[in-house]
Structure 1
């Protein structure tokens, strides 16, 4: 298939800050045009957009928890970019809810939110983007942001671990389904990495223990994860379709 190396049209969901911002920046630095999606935090999204080198980028707001909202995001990205070649499913929620401490009503609501954003939004955006890629006829790439927690367990965040495991399985199913159309689908499974959200934990009492999870004695940077996403989206990475790439600094080894 005729997937270009640069100048691609890329939608990154949940790109207002953190890993999403780093992913958007990596693609823009590669010469691609990026649709920066955000659900809230418009000021942060503006910062992301302003930080992108190159031209032709666009900003898109939408609630991915709603199927119609996801369709609106995809349509706006396709219209703003003139098509789509790469989708990065990064948007996610991660709310602490250990079972022994969480009331049932809160438990149900948290699980519903995780499934809606982490899993169903990923499935819906993948459908919308892939159908457009098929119509375009040039192939494409979908990269899902999963998690180490899908394999090692998340006792304080069980809905997060479960939905990320489902995202990995979805990616493998789509990899088989979409390969005849030249569309590669892969997932990354990061361990701990630095973001604004986890900065207090890393600088607090548990910071040393978190860093000690890896034999490198540190956590990843968002840029390290973003560079892997960029490669998985490249023409050279077609044969990695279906993979789940562990990015955890040997902090958890799957067998």
Structure 2
């Protein structure tokens, strides 16, 4: 029970990856605060499954939403010892789109994938200073390291910025016992990847992955829980790749 006595705020908890992160955190003894956007039923079901988990609603798509979410979480939990920024989105777009539509996609991805995480990190750092330290894990992507598909450039760009944000926090606030680590998955078997396979075929998704399969959501959950263990302070600033050797640095 390495995380016993620790409260962890997890964004995007009702998604495929979020649910298994929550399960692993709970197995490791953490009190998990599950953030959700719209699916109250799924959030309540997951909280019941975990036993003792808390839930908090928040709209990360608006500029004021992330800070309001943090304030609401603090009001319920009192203290938060770790933040996991897992919520994110991939919105297809094309350079052939009208400029207004192009801007709308970029602004939306920037808000959800980067600004929401940055605002939550800001609030967390201020809180961690008061309680003597804390941990941040940002779920980035392989897409943020080396360019990405032409129809998802906004996704790749925001994930690259999230990695840089993580490392800046690790460098700038490490002396205050505030640690930050990024996890960069490649293809993970989720509803989103299933939709891609249905459209393009499994071979298109698995080509270039030497181990021959996508990552499982449980793998991501186990890694997040491991990173948050008090013994793993030296992982601060690291970018942990989970991509089946499809991209190596």
Q: State the alpha-carbon separation in 1 of the partners of residues 137 and 8 from structure 2.
A: 11
SS at match of 2:56: strand
Alpha-carbon separation, structure 2, partners of 1:58 and 1:68: 22
Q: After the TM superposition, which parts of structure 1 deviate over 6 Å for at least 4 consecutive aligned residues?
A: none
Q: What whole-Å deviation, never above 9, does each CA across 1:162-216 have from its counterpart, x for those lacking one?
A: 0000000000000012111111101011000011222233355521231232111
Aligned residue for 1:85? 81
CA deviations on 1:123-149 (whole Å, 9 max, x unpaired) are 100011121111012x21100000000
- Aligned twin of 1:142: 136
Instruction: Confirm or deny that 1:160 pairs with 2:158.
Output: no
* DSSP-derived class of the 2:55 partner: strand
Pairing 1:1-255 to 2, within 5 Å after superposition: 5-52=3-50, 54-55=51-52, 57-100=53-96, 102-137=97-132, 139-154=133-148, 155-203=150-198, 205-254=200-249
Say if 1:90 and 1:145, in contact at 8 Å, map to a contact too: yes
Structure 2 spans left out of the alignment, 5+ residues: none
In 1: Cα distance, 2:111 partner to 2:195 partner:
27
Alignment TM-score, normalising by the size of structure 2:
0.94
Cα offset for 1:122? 0.6
**Contact 2:118/2:165 (<8 A) preserved:** yes
In structure 1, how many angstroms separate the alpha carbons of the residues matched to 2:24 and 2:68? Answer: 25
Between 67-76 and 29-38, the greater mean CA deviation after superposition: 67-76
For 1:20 and 1:103, locate their aligned partners in 2 and report how far apart those are by CA, in whole Å: 34
Q: CA deviation at 1:160?
A: 0.3
The TM-score normalised by the length of structure 1 is 0.92
Alpha carbons of structure 1 residues 26 and 79: separation in structure 2 relative to 1, 3 Å: same
